[in-house]
Amino acid sequence: MMETVGMARLFQHSLSHRSVRYTSYIENGDSKTFSSITASNPYGEDITVSKIECVGHVQKRMGSRLRKLKQMGSKLSDGKSIGGNRRPQANRTERVNRDLVQMIANYVNEQHDTWDQFLIEFAYAIRTAVNETTGKAPAELFLGRKLITPFQKLVMASDGTEFAVGNIERLFEEARQKLNRKNWTK
């Protein structure tokens, strides 16, 4: 139900928020989302939204793999269950996405239709957060200095000489040393 309402709202707001009209919708055969979109008539009578069927895509792509996994049992080779709750992912992108989704949810509270207005703030928070392993923020390693906040720009006068190329190498070396000191145990 939530997906149905969300997609109908996305189509209704696409013209006013993004100046875009979506004329096609890809859907698997049993979903009620398309009927909800057409019932809401997002662009008036002149423009209709067409449905593109996506039947059997999961079975086609994953069917044999899922059957094989089912035959093997519900435990992996390390004895842990297949479920993801107790099996943290090593993929950095997945971790960043998980943290970003949580950050957005905490920041916007009940105003879910305005989350995209805060992307700059979210990006700033990620770029300036100190990494536990390296002890440095991504922006600090990339730029060779810490980012200047809007408040610091107001209260500090600077001629821009605090940036030097040598700082980047020094910061990388500090991060490497911290990585070498870290106890990596499995």
Q: Would you place residue 48 in the very low, low, confident or very high pLDDT band (cuts 50, 70, 90)?
A: confident
Q: Which residue has the higher pLDDT, 131 or 65?
A: 131
**What mean pLDDT comes out for the span 36-60?**
76
User: What percent of the chain shows pLDDT beyond 70?
Assistant: 67
* β partners of residue 51: 25
Q: Of 2, 15, 1, give the one whose Cα is nearest residue 49.
A: 15
User: What percent of the chain shows pLDDT beyond 90?
Assistant: 0
CB 168 within 8 A of CB 136: no
Q: Would you place residue 64 in the very low, low, confident or very high pLDDT band (cuts 50, 70, 90)?
A: low
The identity of residue 67, as a single letter, is R
Position 115 scores a pLDDT of 77
Across all residues in the chain, what is the average pLDDT? 74
Helices 33-40 and 2-18 cross at an angle (nearest 10°) of: 40
Helix (H) or strand (E) holding 27: strand 24-27
Position 65 scores a pLDDT of 64
Q: Which residue has the higher pLDDT, 55 or 134?
A: 134
